[in-house]
Amino acid sequence: MFDIVIPTIGRPSLATLLASLALCRGPRPEHIFVVDDRRKPARPLELGALDADFAARVRILAGPARGPAAARNAGWRASRAAWIAFLDDDVVVKPDWLVALAADLAALPAQVAGSTGIVRVPLPGDRRPTDWERNVAGLARARWITADSAYRRSELLATGGFDERFPRAYREDADLALRVIERGKEIAAGSRSIVHPVRPAPWSISVRLQAGNADDVLMDALHGRGWRERAGAPRGAFRSHALGVMTAALTIVAAGAGFSSVAALLAAAWLAQTAAFAWRRIAPGPRTRVEVCGLIVTSFAIPFAAVYHRLRGLAARRGLLRDRARAPRPIASAVLFDRDGTLIVDVPDNADPARVTPMPAARGALARLRDAGVATAVITNQSGVALGRLRSQDVKAINERAESLLGPLGPILVCAHGPEAGCTCRKPAPGLIIAAARALGVSPRDCVVIGDIGADVEAARAAGARAILVATPVTRPEEIAAAPLVASDLDAAVTAVLGGAA
Catalytic residues: 338, 340
Residue 148 CB burial class (10 angstroms; 0-12, 13-18, ≥19): buried
Buried b (16+ CB within 10 A) or exposed e, 455-481: bbbbbbbbbebbbbbbbeeebeeebee
Whether 176 and 267 have beta carbons less than 8 Å apart is answered as no
Residue 126 CB neighbour total at 10 angstroms:
5
Closest CA to 470 of 456, 458, 460, 462: 456
Residue 299 CB neighbour total at 10 angstroms:
23
Whether 147 and 129 have beta carbons less than 8 Å apart is answered as no
Closest CA to 8 of 35, 43, 47, 42: 35
Instruction: Specify the DSSP class assigned to residue 372.
Output: T
In sequence order, what are the residues at sequence separation of 6 or more whose Cβ sits closer than 8 angstroms to the Cβ of residue 42?
none
Determine if residue 348 is left, alpha or beta; phi over 0 gives left, psi from -120 to 50 gives alpha, anything else beta.
beta
Instruction: Specify the DSSP class assigned to residue 139.
Output: G
